[in-house]
Amino acid sequence: MSTANTVLKLTPLSHWHEKHGGRMVDFAGWSMPVQYQSVIQEHHQTRKAVGLFDVSHMGRFFFFGTDVASWIDGLMTRRIAGVDAGKIRYSLVTNENGMILDDVLVYHLACHPDDAGAFSPSQESGESFYMVVVNASNREKLVNWFQSHIPEGSDIRLEDRTEETAMIAVQGPRANEIIAKLSSIDPESLAYYAGVVGKVDDQWAILSRTGYTGEDGCELIVDARVAEGLWEKVADQAQAIGGGASGLAARDTLRLEAGMPLYGHELSEEINAASTGLGFAINHKGRKFCGDEAIVKSKEAQKDPVRVGIELVGRRPAREGCPVLVDGARVGTLTSGTLSPTLEKPIAMAYLSPEFSPVGTKVDVDIRGKTHAATVVTLPFYRRPKS
């Protein structure tokens, strides 16, 4: 991948990554650390203690205006209108054909009047507000998508605050205890997928009990100018308990073990939302949204490929694009694959023809011309131990 002629965007933490041995790569136009030392070690430290991830490249859109909730609701597969302040919803954004434009988190935050000065200066005191976190690769597309759906004459407004803020994911069984020490709010006091505006290390932050690793933990959104100072403090505390900074490669193996889809792999504009197995994030009951009818149609027809987990025999990792075969005939394609550092087995996700998607189905995976025995298994591959 040659990026010599591209000027990559830097996050507020890029300088820190470079100083600390981060191998920087182009990820959706951002200079991001793929790893610092060993991917496997960065994976394990997150499962066992705490991993610190710079996810500032993800887009952060703030929405303002009258009836913004019902408007956002019309563009999300998941119900947003009527969701209590303080809650966060994972949702898909689909086009009119039910095809996936992105997967996002929609935050509904109850903004304390004092807090309004921190994150929504243009807003009336005491009002709640909505924020959507989108994938870096889809940021521009989604800005345009949302803008083009604002009705004429409406006071709804989107502010893309990605580059004036930073986003840090602190993940792992000991993540919350570190943040609790620095924060006015103990992350443990938040429900899973809840978020608040509060102070972390004496700086305003949106603190949420969310993540993309399959571990407990939280994510922080802070002013770009204070990000490095906060990151250093959290990194020092993490290191003291056997954790530390983890790169995008470990983030990928962690999310794959946790069975979580990644846009551009398991999710794309070629894939109908009904195919993804993300039924929990699609809600038709008593509501309409963009793409809803096409999703219902795909679901009823049961002809579109289905997202599955695959475990291979042996140790050879299979990769995205590998054909999946049954009796020599192609029945699907891998969308992600790696050697699972936790399970020490090759794992993958794939889209398969519905008749071959049941758990337990024996398949073959063609890795560069050689077939390897594999089985369709239940997702996720890894579930964190209940504390």
Partner 1 sequence: MESEVKPEELLFAESHEWIHVADVDGEKIGTIGISAHAVEALSDVVYMELPEVGATVAREESFGEVESVKATSDLFSPVDGEVVEVNTSLPDNLEVLNTDPYGAGWVIKVKLTDDQGLAKLLDHGAYESQCS
* DSSP calls for 143-163: HHHHHHTSPTT---EEEE-GG
The residue assigned the tokens 């398949």 is 363
DSSP 188: G
Please report how close the Cβ of residue 66 comes to partner 1 at its closest, in angstroms.
47
Which of 28, 34, 50, 179 touches partner 1 (CB under 8 A)? Answer: 34
Which of 316, 330, 362, 383 touches partner 1 (CB under 8 A)? Answer: 316
Q: Does residue 154 interact with partner 1 by CB under 8 A?
A: no
Q: Does residue 37 interact with partner 1 by CB under 8 A?
A: yes
Q: Does residue 181 interact with partner 1 by CB under 8 A?
A: no
**Helices and strands (H, E) in the chain, number of each type:** 9, 19
Please report how close the Cβ of residue 28 comes to partner 1 at its closest, in angstroms.
16
Which of 14, 137, 237, 253 touches partner 1 (CB under 8 A)? Answer: 253
SS3 351: strand
Residue with smaller CB distance to partner 1, 298 or 338 = 338
Q: What is the rounded CA–CA span in Å between residue 142 and residue 3? A: 24
Which of 73, 252, 364, 366 touches partner 1 (CB under 8 A)? Answer: 252
How many residues lie near partner 1 (CB under 8 A)?
Answer: 19
Residue with smaller CB distance to partner 1, 198 or 323 = 323
| Binding window for partner 1 (CB under 8 A); candidates: 73-81, 260-268, 295-303, 333-341 | 333-341
Residues paired with residue 99 on neighbouring β-strands, in sequence order: 272
Q: Of 57, 83, 86, give the one whose Cα is nearest residue 68.
A: 83
Please report how close the Cβ of residue 319 comes to partner 1 at its closest, in angstroms.
6
Q: What is the rounded CA–CA span in Å between residue 259 and residue 272? A: 18
Q: Does residue 249 interact with partner 1 by CB under 8 A?
A: yes
Please report how close the Cβ of residue 343 comes to partner 1 at its closest, in angstroms.
12
Query: Using an 8 Å Cβ cutoff, are 275 and 353 in contact?
Result: no
Question: Cβ–Cβ contacts within 10 Å for residue 126, how many?
Answer: 11
Q: Does residue 368 interact with partner 1 by CB under 8 A?
A: yes
Q: What Cα–Cα distance (Å) separates residue 164 from each residue in 61, 71, 201, 314?
A: 11, 25, 18, 47
Q: Which residues bind partner 1 (CB under 8 A)?
A: 34-35, 37-40, 43, 249, 252-253, 315-317, 319, 338-339, 341, 368, 370
